[in-house]
Amino acid sequence: MGHSGEIVTQGDAAGAAQDTRRIWDREPLAYLVASLRGVGQVDLQPQLLTGAFILAALWAAGWKVGLFATLGTLISTATAYLLAVDRGSIAQGLQGYSGCLTGIAMVVFLGNHLSTYLLTVAACVICTVLTATVTHFMKPYGLTALTSPFCIVSGVMVHGAPSFARIWHGAPSPVANPTMGDTGIAWSDLWRAFFSNVSQIFLVDSWYVGLIMLVGLAFAGMRVLLAAVLGSVVGIVSAWALGAPTELIREGIYGYNAVLVGIAVGAVFLAGTVWNACYAAFGAGVSTGLTAAITTLFKPFHGHTFTWPFILTTWMLMAAVPLLPRLRHAEAG
């Protein structure tokens, strides 16, 4: 996610920016367009069709997921408007993607209750503020916020919810922790894992949801689609080679961070060279191993991994680029 910072968009968004300028005089439409792009920006892409397909996939996953993803994106984007955040940043959806993920996390981990709606409003407002905070601190290092606002806000709220009787209703965690189990793998496990790796970015375990999302990514360009495919394949191979439980590989638990790293490093932040593609594949593999490490670290206090492996891996890889002459940054759009 060129989730703010020097790279204003997360993909090739020059055309999208021109489209947006023509509708700024129609604020309601501009707000909806920016919000839709915010959904696509979860996968680092501001294209409208990408956002539309991803949002459709989330509604296909269930009305609760679709509704809270929509609410989260709208609330975070509206907050950015109210706080007079840079209009270009809002237009490209850079103020809505953390709210999208946070809204989903709220209903997935806390259930569909009135308190969840109220907490979602508060969480998504905080996401917008925290996006500015993280962006400010990361800018001197040439790094961007990525999905860290979502991870911080959702992690704190979900972890603290059981302490408050009016918020916690005993909702069971739907996301499994990596544990030892069967490590054999069949063709049915492989193809389900390939698509679930994409849907798990949004905390959804569904192969057909992942398929719809991949179609949306295709509208962002072949390079983006291939980067997502590369990340998913590397995530599966790495998890299997390390002996991860088959069930968790099939559910996408070990691969979704690899997909994000593949897109970020292979199609957004770096130029399209063979060296950069290899670097992205390497990062995808690293994030797969890091998923288990972070999950184990969080497990004693019932924390959630979310997209921390993607964030930490991408920060590490991109911070090293200036000292690795073989690698080249993408041209700013």
The average confidence (pLDDT) of the chain is 89
Task: Give the up-direction half-sphere exposure of residue 237: CA atoms within 13 A in the CB hemisphere.
Answer: 12
- Percent of the chain having pLDDT more than 90? 79
Cβ 220 vs Cβ 47: under 8 Å: yes
* CA 20-22-27 angle, 5° bins: 75
Helix spans in the chain (H): 14-21, 27-41, 48-60, 63-82, 87-91, 97-110, 114-138, 148-160, 187-199, 207-218, 222-242, 246-250, 256-263, 274-298, 308-320
* Cα 132 to the center of its chain, rounded Å: 17
Q: Is 116 helix (H, G, I), strand (E, B) or coil?
A: helix
Determine the straight-line distance between the first and last CA of the chain, rounded to whole angstroms.
Answer: 13
pLDDT band with cut points at 50, 70 and 90 for residue 172: low
What's the mean pLDDT in 274-292?
97
pLDDT at 20: 47
- Give the domains, in start order, of the chain with CATH numbers: 1-174 (1.10.3430.10), 177-333 (1.10.3430.10)
Residue 211 has pLDDT above 50, yes or no: yes
Annotate 241-261 with b (16+ C-beta within 10 A) or e (fewer): eeebbbebbbbbbbbbbbbbb
What's the mean pLDDT in 203-223?
97
pLDDT band with cut points at 50, 70 and 90 for residue 310: very high
The residue that leads in pLDDT, 293 or 332, is 293
pLDDT band with cut points at 50, 70 and 90 for residue 27: confident
What's the mean pLDDT in 173-181?
54
What's the mean pLDDT in 186-213?
95
What's the mean pLDDT in 172-180?
54
